[in-house]
Amino acid sequence: MLSAGGYLPADVVSNDELARRYGLDTSDAWIQERTGIRQRHLAAPGESASSMGIKAAAQALERAGVDASEVDAVIVATATPDSSFPATAVRIQAGLGITRGFAFDLLAACTGFIYALSVADAMIRTGQCRTALVIGAETYSRILDWTDRTTCVLFGDGAGAVVLRAEEGESGILSSHIHADGRHGGILHVEGGPGSTGGTGLLRMAGREVFKHAVTKLASAVDEALAANSLAREDVTWLVPHQANIRIIDAMGRKLHLPRERVVVTVDRHANTSAASIPLALAEAVGEGRFKPGDLLLLEAIGGGLTWGATLLRW
């Protein structure tokens, strides 16, 4: 992984402002106590997964010192594409002026970025591409029920991107471990969609049920990733988790015996940006120069499907 970039919409909405704007019976205290969220960014009319993805990718390429013309794969994890097709990845490819290689979207809800890293890594290892842009880009504000306080306070919009390149050496992705179990699809889903109701559909979540699955499934994916590389929990330098809830993040940090300063946290400012949350966290940490060569990064996520997974990478 050469570098990471991110983009967040300009409209920063505090919990109090959100409650006012949508007439919600909630409070800043409830939201912060249960989730750690203080604010989120919301996309402006006209902003979309592709327009934000282009900006995130441009920053990632600039930081990596890679020209867009060198990219031969664009993989976008999103549950909120601009439209059914062309894929958001193809729109981003065009927006960056890339005319070669391939581009496609992948959907695994909040686990989308881990899935996309897994796919990109496998394609690089099998020689199908050399330089890949892996992007998470979401506009969940468009699929939220703004009358449902149990879900609409939890999410935000944004995009994050990383540049992967086939290179010899110690750094890079060690392995990814992805899982799905559709028996639990009903606890976190979008009601309706282009192929059923013809519309976009709205997000529904049984939060407490998702919470119950989160810590056990994330812990098992993390242990699987460490075991596959003969590494121990103590070897992890940084935890870069999906940013859904500070209580889940803290539980994972405790399991790994990592102090809070070794956990990249953005949920307080970004809320849950689904597939964009991990690359946005990576982008922020890279911007602050937090990762040093040789650091071991552990990425993990769980989301709708249910889907979950973990990636280990050497910086």
Share in percent of the chain as helix, strand, coil (round to 5)? 40, 25, 35
Residue 150 CB, shortest distance to ligand ACO, in Å, is 4
Tokens, residue 17: 């402002």
Told to judge if 242 belongs to the known catalytic residues of this protein, a careful annotator would answer yes
Interface residue with ligand ACO, options 38, 130, 142, 149 (CB under 6 A): 149
**Residue 207 in the binding site for ligand ACO (CB under 6 A):** yes
Stretch that binds ligand ACO, among 30-38, 41-49, 80-88, 256-264 (CB under 6 A): 30-38
Residues 118, 225: Cα–Cα separation, whole Å: 12
What separation, in Å, do the N-terminal and C-terminal C-alpha atoms of the chain show? 7
Report if residue 114 touches ligand ACO, rule: CB under 6 A: no
182 binds ligand ACO (CB under 6 A): no
Are residues 74 and 53 in contact, defined by beta-carbon separation less than 8 angstroms? no
Size of the site for ligand ACO (CB under 6 A): 24
Query: Among residues 8 and 248, whose Cβ is nearest to ligand ACO?
Result: 248
150 binds ligand ACO (CB under 6 A): yes
Judged by phi (left if over 0) then psi (alpha if -120 to 50, else beta), residue 251 lies in: alpha
* Nearest CB to ligand ACO, comparing residues 34 and 255: 34
Among the listed residues 11, 14, 16, 34, the single contact to ligand ACO using CB under 6 A: 34
CA distance 308 to 244: 13
Q: How far apart are CA 260 and CA 249, in angstroms?
A: 9
CA distance 158 to 145: 18
Q: Give the residues lining the site for ligand ACO (CB under 6 A).
A: 26, 30-31, 34-35, 109-110, 149-150, 153, 188, 207-208, 210-211, 214, 244-245, 248, 272, 274, 302-304
